[in-house]
Amino acid sequence: MVAASPLLFQRRAPSTKKEERLHSVGERALPLAIHRNPRARRLILRIVPGGRSLRVTAPPQVSQREIDAFLARNAGWLAERLDRHDGCTLSNGGELSFRGKTYRIAHSGKLRGLPQLNDDEAAEPTLVVHGPEAALRKRIGDFLRREAEAMMVPLARRHARTLGRPIKAVRFRDTRSRWGSCTADGTLSFSWRIMMAPDFVIDYLVAHEVAHLAEMNHGPRFWAQCRDLCPRVDEAKAWLKEHGGRLQAVDFSGG
């Protein structure tokens, strides 16, 4: 008897076709990618994290006219969502949300030194940033990354001890497609942008990924583990759904 190749039993992913164009939303002109997927049963509109482009998933048989009508019906929703992404460029005199609290950004003019938080109750909360003003956004991003490591690594290890599961490593990146991840070998990864969210949202994100150390899925047992670690799961998920896009839109690049 001839053994069959395992490749014969692999399910082929459905092929998709992609169309690209610009789509106007008010005074904005955003790249729009239309993905025709054989598995799609309805039209789905998404704003790409960061608010810089749009994506429509459509069944193959849907016409261009139907897609245009679908976009027109959702124009109000789209404009309202995109408005949340405006004003997200950091600058001297602007604002930064840190652990859910708003800080006024103040460029000191000094050439050296790490950013400093001033939480004096008698004055407006301020984040003082040193160095060249052209590097202000990058320095704030570096500040958030350091703060993420200082807060979230101990939090992750504490939650892992509760589950009795080991962590191999904890990494931080500036990711736009997801807030965190967990690999089978126990490596946790987080977007340091989450430091702009309130503490209970940060705790939820850490608990979510740590729970994957025990359950590499999103089944009932996973969510039970997650809620044991973080009772405010539903509240945190709702907060991220409402405000996460704005956090992803903040520009930390260049000057």
CATH of the domain at 118: 3.30.2010.10
> Does the pLDDT of residue 196 top 70, yes or no?
yes
55 and 157 belong to one structural domain? no
Domain closes at, from 36, 59, 83: 83
Pairing of strands 101-107, 126-129: parallel
Interval 148-157: pLDDT, tens: 999 999 999 9
Domain hosting residue 53, numbered range: 17-83
**158 and 59 belong to one structural domain:** no
Is 4 within a domain? no
Across 72-98, average pLDDT? 82
pTM of structure: 0.73
Asked if 75 and 25 count as a contact pair (C-beta separation under 8 A), the reply is: yes
Q: How many domains does the chain have?
A: 2
Write down the number of H helices and E strands in the chain: 6, 11
Residues 232 and 165 in one domain: yes
Q: What does the pLDDT look like over 155-191, one tens digit per residue? A: 999 999 999 999 999 999 998 778 999 999 999 999 9
Strand order in the sheet with 44-47: 17-25, 28-36, 54-58, 44-47
251 vs 128 pLDDT, higher one:
128
Q: Tokens 């789905």 sit at which residue? A: 44
| The pLDDT of residue 67 is above 90 | yes
Structure tokens at 16: 């998709």
Span 117-146, average pLDDT: 91
